[in-house]
Structure 1
Amino acid sequence: MEKLKVGVINLGCDKNRIDSEIVISSLSERYNMTNDPKLADIILVNTCGFIESSKQESIDTILEMSEYKKKYKCTVLIATGCLTQRYGAELIELMPELDIMLGVNDYNKLLSSIEDVLLKNIKVQHFNYSDDNINEGQRVLTTGTYSAYIRISEGCDNACTYCAIPNIRGKYRSRKMENIVQEAKDLSDHGCKEIILVAQDTTRYGIDLYGRKTLHTLINKISKISGIEWIRILYCYAEEITDEIINEISLNDKVCKYVDIPIQHISDDILKSMKRKGRKKIITENIRKMRENINGLILRTTLIVGFPGETNEDFEELKQFIKEIKFDKLGVFKYSKEDGTLAALMEDQIPEEVKVEREEELMIMQQSISKELNNIKIGKIYNVLVEDVDGKNYSGRNCEMAPEVDGTFFFESDKVYNKGQFVKVRVTKALEYDLIGVVCNESCE
């Protein structure tokens, strides 16, 4: 008897992607996998429920896939992830087309749930909340075999007033270092060259298991793995960055000199209202310290505009800070009023049109800053990781670019290169976010 086919649609962040990759590995032991939902007997949507736009995308995707039950082969429709964890009971009423709903701690029930639906024709729901469980296991990479995310911890203790993650994912809990290192070794054995460390807060890694921050130790151990050429660190809280982390980034040749510090704002009044631990002084001081000690540092941040009570003065302070610091990479989000968060109950909610104006103003500023910084790179030579090939046209990333959130490095070549291969490329043209270059020959210096 031919195996049933399963299609998995992943939405949301890179932590969600890891969950989906574990799910795909588990499902592929029993079912055939397909990238075409029209051919799938079973469709799973791994949802995001972080902010309003991501919730709407998740709902729209589920509704779209529910149509596949009418038009194509699908007989079992599954929703998992943050949206189902957060709104399970409501979704059941709103979307009767769903056959299985699982929360973020219930992926281990997926196979048995599918069997229950297929054999017993019943609907299945699990929404367990956990401060202990961490999803771990074999994965099927969806990023290409050359690059992979590794989750080093689950949950969050920061309790920012705008964020629902602690209510969804639970308290901060680090994975055992030996498990992470082994996962990196396994990925390397399968051709992975870039490891991207992620968590809700990577800088606090180890504090619950080992009584102190041990991110620098973890990075060092991963760097000893042959085959790993780039180690990238995302989601570092600026106020939590230690001298040990700075030294490891600075001195370890395998660590990308790229630090992602999502500061969210710089006005002390707004940071206090957000219940962020950092304040302008320590954020500024740690940025200065990193730039003084890490040669060629690339800094990325994310900001929230339109938080309740954000005055024109607060916004002007943020604009001035961006002009002074000149972040290499910067993303801006409009504040999203989320159910169950303290910020949703605050007075002085900002009108949507003001949020839009502030977001656009910051992004226009950043375009100019990014173009200015990219122009400095003309003539420089970088190792570029090839990610896409179209005849003689190639695109990829250098060490200064994280996947999906930063720019792209384009070049042409008569010589054939494969995805996952490193190529030396000299920058010949700079755009706002992207770089264009030519392949260096052996005499290229």
Structure 2
Amino acid sequence: MEKFKVGMVSLGCDKNRVDSELILGTINKYYEITNNPKEADIIIVNTCGFIESAKQESIDTILEMARYKTDYKCKMLIATGCLTQRYGDELLEQMPEIDILMGVNDYMKLHKLILEFIKEQKQISSATYSDLSINEGERILTTNTHTAYVRIAEGCNNFCTYCIIPKIRGKFRSRTIESVIKEVESLSLQGVKEIILIAQDLTNYGVDIYDGKMLHKLVKKVSEVENIEWVRLLYCYPEEMYDELIEEISSNNKVAKYLDIPIQHISNKILKLMGRKTSKEDIINIIDKLRERIPEITLRTSLIVGFPNESNEDFNELKEFLKEYKLDNVGVFSYSQEEGTPAAIMNGQIDESVKESRLRELMLTQRKIMLDLNNLKIGNIYDTIIDRSNGEFYIGRNYMMSPEIDNIIYIRKTNKIKIGDVVKVKITDIQEYDLVGDVIDESGK
């Protein structure tokens, strides 16, 4: 019998991407995978449910994919991910287009659920809430073949007042060092050169299964895997940074001198309302410490504007902080009032127009900072990984750039390189956020 074809739409963060790759890995032996939804007999939408805009995108995507059931050959629409975990049967009732609904703990059941739907031809709900295992297994990479995300922990224990993730993903739990290294070794054999370690909170890795924080030891072991050239760290809480980790980043040539440290705000009043376990003074101290110990460090952060009770003074304090500390990459988000979180019922909610105005103002501030920083890079030479080609240019990244969320380098075409290579590139110009450069040889020509 001909295999059903399965298409996947993955929304949200890189942790969701790993889940999508695991889903494809679990069903690959039973079904044919396709990138074209017009060819798919089964379409899976891996949703995001973090903030209002993400929820709406997930709902819109489910409805869009449902049209393939009437206009093309799709026989089954499956929804999974954070949105389905958060709303469960309520979502199934409101969206009869969904045939199978799964939570974030149910991926290994997918083939069984598909067979059940084929037999019964009625909606199936399978969003379990008690299983706190970590999804692991074979993956089908959806990234470039030279880059892969590796999730080293699941869940979160921070309980920030604006965030629903602990209720969706559960308590923080680490994978063992052995399981992570086994996965990295497998990815290396597939041609992966860049490993991006991810978790909701990387810096607490190991506290639940080992005697204290173990990220520095894990990073060292990952960097020792044959053919791995770059190791990158995402989502390190600033208050959890510790000396052994800083030393490993500083001294290990394979570790990108790059950290994503989610600050969210700088006003002590707002940090306290957010339930953050840090202060303005502590954040500034860790930035200064990182820049002193790792002079070439690139710092990325995310900020929230319009949090309940954020005054003009609080906002201006945040803006002045950006101007003074000149972080390399900044994502700015308007506060989203999420039901089920303490912040959603706080007094002092901010008008949407004020949120949008503050977001624009902060982004304009950061735009000027990035232009100034980029101008300083002209003439510099960077090791650069080649991600793709747009026909006219190769597109690459240096250690300062994470895929898809940061800026890029446009590299003039040459026969010397191919996609996946790590080459030396001299920066010759800037295009606002992005850089332009040429490949050079070891002699600088």
TM-score using structure 2 length: 0.98
The corresponding residue for 1:27 is 27
Structure 1: gaps (5+ residues):
none
Q: Which amino acid aligns with 1:108?
A: M
The corresponding residue for 1:174 is 174
Q: Which amino acid aligns with 2:59?
A: I
The corresponding residue for 1:39 is 39
Whether 1:103 aligns to 2:103 is yes
The corresponding residue for 2:356 is 356
Give 1:80 deviation, angstroms: 0.3
Q: Which amino acid aligns with 1:85?
A: Q
The corresponding residue for 1:221 is 221
Describe how 1:47-86 pairs up with structure 2 within 5 A.
Answer: 47-86=47-86
User: Distance between the aligned counterparts of 1:270 and 1:298, measured in 2?
Assistant: 25
Moved over 4 A (4+): none
The corresponding residue for 1:14 is 14
Q: Deviations over 1:190-210 (max 9, x none)?
A: 110000011110000000111
**Contact 2:89–2:125 (CA<8 Å) still a contact in 1?**
no
Q: Tell me the secondary structure at the aligned position of residue 374 of structure 2.
A: helix
Q: Deviations over 1:320-355 (max 9, x none)?
A: 111111000111000000010000000110000000
89-98 or 408-417, larger mean C-alpha shift: 408-417
Q: Which amino acid aligns with 2:288?
A: R
Give 1:414 deviation, angstroms: 3.1
Whether 1:266 aligns to 2:266 is yes
The corresponding residue for 1:159 is 159
Q: Which amino acid aligns with 2:432?
A: E
Whether 1:340 aligns to 2:331 is no
Q: Tell me the secondary structure at the aligned position of residue 86 of structure 1.
A: helix
Give 1:431 deviation, angstroms: 3.0
The corresponding residue for 2:90 is 90
User: Distance between the aligned counterparts of 1:304 and 1:47, measured in 2?
Assistant: 22
Give 1:388 deviation, angstroms: 1.3
Give 1:109 deviation, angstroms: 1.3
The corresponding residue for 2:411 is 411
**Contact 1:80–1:101 (CA<8 Å) still a contact in 2?**
yes
Describe how 1:218-297 pairs up with structure 2 within 5 A.
Answer: 218-297=218-297
User: Distance between the aligned counterparts of 1:12 and 1:423, measured in 2?
Assistant: 31
The corresponding residue for 1:306 is 306
**Contact 2:105–2:131 (CA<8 Å) still a contact in 1?**
no
**Contact 1:384–1:423 (CA<8 Å) still a contact in 2?**
yes
Q: Tell me the secondary structure at the aligned position of residue 144 of structure 1.
A: coil
Give 1:130 deviation, angstroms: 3.6
User: Distance between the aligned counterparts of 1:166 and 1:249, measured in 2?
Assistant: 28
The corresponding residue for 2:423 is 423
Q: Deviations over 1:366-417 (max 9, x none)?
A: 0110111111111011111111124452111111100111001001123153
Report the number of matched residues.
Answer: 445
User: Distance between the aligned counterparts of 2:443 and 2:159, measured in 1?
Assistant: 54
Give 1:120 deviation, angstroms: 2.3
User: Distance between the aligned counterparts of 1:131 and 1:62, measured in 2?
Assistant: 25
**Contact 2:397–2:409 (CA<8 Å) still a contact in 1?**
yes
The corresponding residue for 2:331 is 331
Give 1:243 deviation, angstroms: 0.5
Structure 2: gaps (5+ residues):
none
The corresponding residue for 2:370 is 370
The corresponding residue for 2:195 is 195
258-267 or 429-438, larger mean C-alpha shift: 429-438
User: Distance between the aligned counterparts of 1:132 and 1:107, measured in 2?
Assistant: 13
Q: Tell me the secondary structure at the aligned position of residue 163 of structure 1.
A: coil
Give 1:84 deviation, angstroms: 0.3
Q: Tell me the secondary structure at the aligned position of residue 19 of structure 2.
A: helix
Give 1:421 deviation, angstroms: 1.0
Give 1:289 deviation, angstroms: 0.6
**Contact 1:389–1:418 (CA<8 Å) still a contact in 2?**
no
Give 1:131 deviation, angstroms: 6.1
User: Distance between the aligned counterparts of 1:270 and 1:391, measured in 2?
Assistant: 47
Q: Which amino acid aligns with 1:367?
A: R
53-62 or 411-420, larger mean C-alpha shift: 411-420
Q: Which amino acid aligns with 2:340?
A: G
Q: Deviations over 1:274-321 (max 9, x none)?
A: 000011111111111100001311000000000000001100111111
User: Distance between the aligned counterparts of 1:318 and 1:442, measured in 2?
Assistant: 43
117-126 or 319-328, larger mean C-alpha shift: 117-126
**Contact 2:105–2:132 (CA<8 Å) still a contact in 1?**
no
Q: Tell me the secondary structure at the aligned position of residue 444 of structure 2.
A: coil
Q: Tell me the secondary structure at the aligned position of residue 49 of structure 1.
A: coil
Q: Which amino acid aligns with 1:149?
A: Y
Give 1:2 deviation, angstroms: 1.3
User: Distance between the aligned counterparts of 2:339 and 2:74, measured in 1?
Assistant: 33
**Contact 1:332–1:363 (CA<8 Å) still a contact in 2?**
yes
Q: Deviations over 1:68-117 (max 9, x none)?
A: 11111011100000000001122111111111000001111111000011
253-262 or 387-396, larger mean C-alpha shift: 387-396
Q: Deviations over 1:411-445 (max 9, x none)?
A: 11231532211121100012332100111134307
Q: Tell me the secondary structure at the aligned position of residue 377 of structure 1.
A: coil
**Contact 1:131–1:171 (CA<8 Å) still a contact in 2?**
no
116-125 or 149-158, larger mean C-alpha shift: 116-125
